[in-house]
Amino acid sequence: MKISILFATHNGAKTLPYMLESLSEINCPYEWELLAVNNESSDETEAILQSYIGELPIRILNQPKRGKNRSLNLGLKEATGDLIVLTDDDVVPNEDWIVRLVDCAEANPKFDIFAGRIGPLWPCQPDPVIIRNVPLGTTYAISPTTLNEGPINPGNVWGPNMAIRRRVFDAGHTFNEHVGPDKGRYIMGSETEFTERLHVAGYKCWFCDAAVVKHIIRENQMTQSWVIDRAFRSGRGERVRAKDDEFAVPSFIGIPRWRIRVLLRSYYLSAFHLLTGDTDARFAARWEISFLHGYINESLKVKLRGEQSLKADGK
């Protein structure tokens, strides 16, 4: 089996050295290639990538137009592996990472999408208010401890650690270039949008508990303001991925009324807990408010476009 490891990077100079150095130390007894797509970087990213030519089987591609999914689609056109391993520029994989993913793929031939476990690499002790009150998967792409080896929901397959059989891409499936990391307050959930779309097409997902990477958390990502802003982007992604039954309930300008009620209640709780001094409850309410603002923001955009959801570029 040949392996293609593919990732996109935009101004990744702070984490790329850790990621590339760890890749140089993995145990990979298979033929493999590393496809790095430099996505409009203005820092030392290109020089760092170039410095690993000869040390890693790396091919450097350039996507001048911003967008992670746009970059991944470019890389997919160049990938030659039977198993496409997708990751990010801020991970540190275990030495046996690829071996474990391949073991899963070979042991489960009826499955085409594989997710590995993702743990955090904190730069310092995280704010306990954040840890206690937000979904760590949505916020930091940290795998839930409740996930066990076996079939999983496609919503639990995340960008830092996933692998997909080549036959999926040969069938014409690609990433939706309207979602995912891009300029500004982009729509989150690009991998989830992709895997849920594949699930509808009949492809199944498997969780490989032993295939582990650590996700480097940056210091700026540990502030409450960053987490609140991420909730907004997550809300936009929730709206894009919404199924038809989301709207089979009473709605107002395309927004389910129950979500509006949750928003109003969250405003009340935020104000109430400001007075009571309950910082945990107030932060949880603020997160919910930001999430719903993102959902409503995207709903209004959809309403203006006169369509129910963004359509994928591929199948």
**Domain regions of the chain by residue span:** 3-222, 224-305
Helices (H) and strands (E) in the chain, counts: 11, 11
For the chain, the residue count is: 315
pLDDT at 79: 97
Contacts of 39 (CB under 8 A, 6+ apart): 8, 9, 10, 63, 66, 67, 68, 70, 71
pLDDT at 315: 55
Six token digits for residue 231: 């909730």
Are 165 and 105 in contact, with CB atoms under 8 Å apart? yes
Six token digits for residue 174: 């690609």
Q: How far apart are alpha carbons 154 and 234 in whole angstroms?
A: 16
Residue 111, CB-side half-sphere exposure with 13 Å CA sphere: 24
Place of tokens 């306990």: 128
Per-residue pLDDT tens digits of the chain, which is 315 residues long:
999 999 999 999 999 999 999 999 999 999 999 999 999 999 999 999 999 999 999 999 999 999 999 999 999 999 999 999 999 999 999 999 999 999 999 999 999 999 999 999 999 999 999 999 999 999 999 999 999 999 999 999 999 999 999 999 999 999 999 887 887 778 888 899 999 999 999 999 999 999 999 999 999 999 999 999 999 999 999 988 887 667 778 888 878 999 999 999 999 999 999 999 999 999 999 999 999 999 999 988 887 776 544 544 555
Question: Would you state the CATH architecture of domain 3-222?
Answer: Alpha-Beta Complex (3.90)
Q: How far apart are alpha carbons 32 and 160 in whole angstroms?
A: 18
Residue by residue, DSSP assigns 265-286 as: HHHHHHHHHHHHT-HHHHHHHH
Other Cβ atoms closer than 10 A to 142: 19
